Structure 1
């Protein structure tokens, strides 16, 4: 994906297009990579669950909105005989993913495809698995896209949809003592922005999948929590810094000046900067749906 918009890729706010897309995508890729690193156990459990349900072998995977490739490489590891078509609308993301594939000796198993995830994918059908992580909610018409994906997945194949409820949370309520509830207010403003620009976040994905013809075989919602206080995992502070900096840009003008100033103290390199704190508490609610294209369908 690139799953972008006011909530950004994987819920990280903000994504630029046109002339400033490349630097924005580079920062976004850092967030994606840190997310995958910090929640590696969750990603491994997800791919293991997919493998448990996969039948007939997994040799061709489509990563819909591949971003920096965190899903691509996790699936290549889980399915050693598979190749992945990595689909993204961002040339910057695909270039980064391709460089990583070369560095890992996986270039022969990765085919980058620059395309809009909401449109039919040229030359792709009979995929054993389609992986759509935090990408569907960014599409203009996810229901139509899922109906199109029905023909991309082979009969008996799987579609894995991973979604989230918005931006991860990072701070205790008293992170800035004289501005309690700072993050909650910023999150509320961001949610309002997402409602306008990313209206499909939080959709009824089970119902939408079933309406497209898929049979949902697994559905699970989980709050991931990375309590970084004892001790702080490597990367947690940088993850919070990059994400909160994008939130700061997104909510400028939507929260009062005092809250913006308080948010700035968490990003200014000083003692309260999130990169230096020992009280981060990273939480993120995520959904997983594993749906099968029925093997006996005539569609």
Structure 2
């Protein structure tokens, strides 16, 4: 999404988000910044519902790695969902979760300890706007929904690439569209306008949301050829989880859209966020959809 600082979050999916940069919200710069608790819930919901892309993305990283990585850094680890996915994909690697937020790092280490991974995962608190930590080197660096939050992401990419071990791999993943929840065509007689989400997303984009970081040129300047891959995701969730995520996200959209969206669209949003028969919790047609793009850059063995 990248919702330029989104990015889950998640996200942004989704967004991450109290991460490696300013702690910006995964879903929109300067608009309705969430509290720490709201941010944590958004990241958790994004991971639980749209996290299946992690299986594909970590498999892609494994395929591209010249050799099995012994050391991995999860840059902007957030709530730790990526750290856990990396630990599952690379069972023999030592993983460092790097984040600016001590709270997020604590949550990540608690999550990994609960999975019996405390011996394989360490935390590193660092603000990448102040520069890359000199001691942080790795065979694989993974940055999901975090780099766009930095003041100078291209400098950070160059520093990360420099800190890669010879033959190492840098993977960057970003949300490339805002999550959507509603069917394209509402039921007959619905008070929700057809095409609502597409129009709201377009308005948000014109207000500075969903700025899509295109990292290819910056990675090439860092000294590498770049591979790029798209990861479309339809979420797997219960109706209750889908409604919770939709309410969290659409509620922030409502705050950001006040005074800029069409009155009929704002009225439709109020219907969804209300408690009537078409409210999010009473609908049976919510499907969470999200899309991410990955970039991969490999350092030479020399």
The verdict on how the C-alpha distance between 1:139 and 1:153 changes in structure 2, with shifts beyond 3 A counting, is same
Which residue does 1:83 correspond to in 2?
94
Unaligned runs of 5+ in 1: none
The verdict on how the C-alpha distance between 1:185 and 1:70 changes in structure 2, with shifts beyond 3 A counting, is same
Superposition RMSD in Å: 2.8
> For 1:5-43, what per-residue CA distance to the aligned partner results, in whole angstroms no more than 9, with x for missing partners?
3656223425899xx98x723222222222222234321
The verdict on how the C-alpha distance between 1:163 and 1:7 changes in structure 2, with shifts beyond 3 A counting, is closer
- Residue 240 (structure 2) pairs with residue 225 (structure 1): no
Which residue does 2:277 correspond to in 1?
271
Which residue does 2:21 correspond to in 1?
none
Structure 1 residue 162 displacement after superposition: 0.8
1:123-272 maps to which residues of 2 (within 5 A)?
A: 123-175=134-186, 177=191, 179-194=193-208, 201-216=211-226, 218-226=227-235, 235-272=241-278
Partner Cα separation in structure 2 for residue 224 and residue 265 of structure 1 = 27
Confirm or deny: 8 A CA contact 1:65 1:117 kept in the other structure.
Answer: no
Confirm or deny: 8 A CA contact 1:240 1:274 kept in the other structure.
Answer: yes
Confirm or deny: 8 A CA contact 2:5 2:28 kept in the other structure.
Answer: yes
Which residue does 1:112 correspond to in 2?
123
SS in 1 for 2:35: helix
Unaligned runs of 5+ in 2: 13-25
> For 1:150-171, what per-residue CA distance to the aligned partner results, in whole angstroms no more than 9, with x for missing partners?
1221110010111122311222
The verdict on how the C-alpha distance between 1:141 and 1:233 changes in structure 2, with shifts beyond 3 A counting, is same
Q: Which stretch of structure 1 is more off in the superposition, 96-105 or 74-83?
A: 96-105
The verdict on how the C-alpha distance between 1:253 and 1:53 changes in structure 2, with shifts beyond 3 A counting, is same
> For 1:186-237, what per-residue CA distance to the aligned partner results, in whole angstroms no more than 9, with x for missing partners?
2122212336xx7xx3233222211111232x32124323488xxx566222
Partner Cα separation in structure 1 for residue 8 and residue 68 of structure 2 = 33
Which residue does 1:35 correspond to in 2?
46
Confirm or deny: 8 A CA contact 1:62 1:85 kept in the other structure.
Answer: yes
The verdict on how the C-alpha distance between 1:285 and 1:109 changes in structure 2, with shifts beyond 3 A counting, is same
SS in 1 for 2:277: coil
Structure 1 residue 135 displacement after superposition: 1.5
Which residue does 2:5 correspond to in 1?
5
Partner Cα separation in structure 2 for residue 51 and residue 271 of structure 1 = 47
The verdict on how the C-alpha distance between 1:270 and 1:188 changes in structure 2, with shifts beyond 3 A counting, is same
1:66-81 maps to which residues of 2 (within 5 A)?
A: 66-81=77-92
Confirm or deny: 8 A CA contact 1:55 1:157 kept in the other structure.
Answer: yes
Which residue does 1:281 correspond to in 2?
287
The verdict on how the C-alpha distance between 1:95 and 1:269 changes in structure 2, with shifts beyond 3 A counting, is farther
Question: How many equivalent pairs are there?
Answer: 283
TM-score (norm 2): 0.82
SS in 1 for 2:92: coil
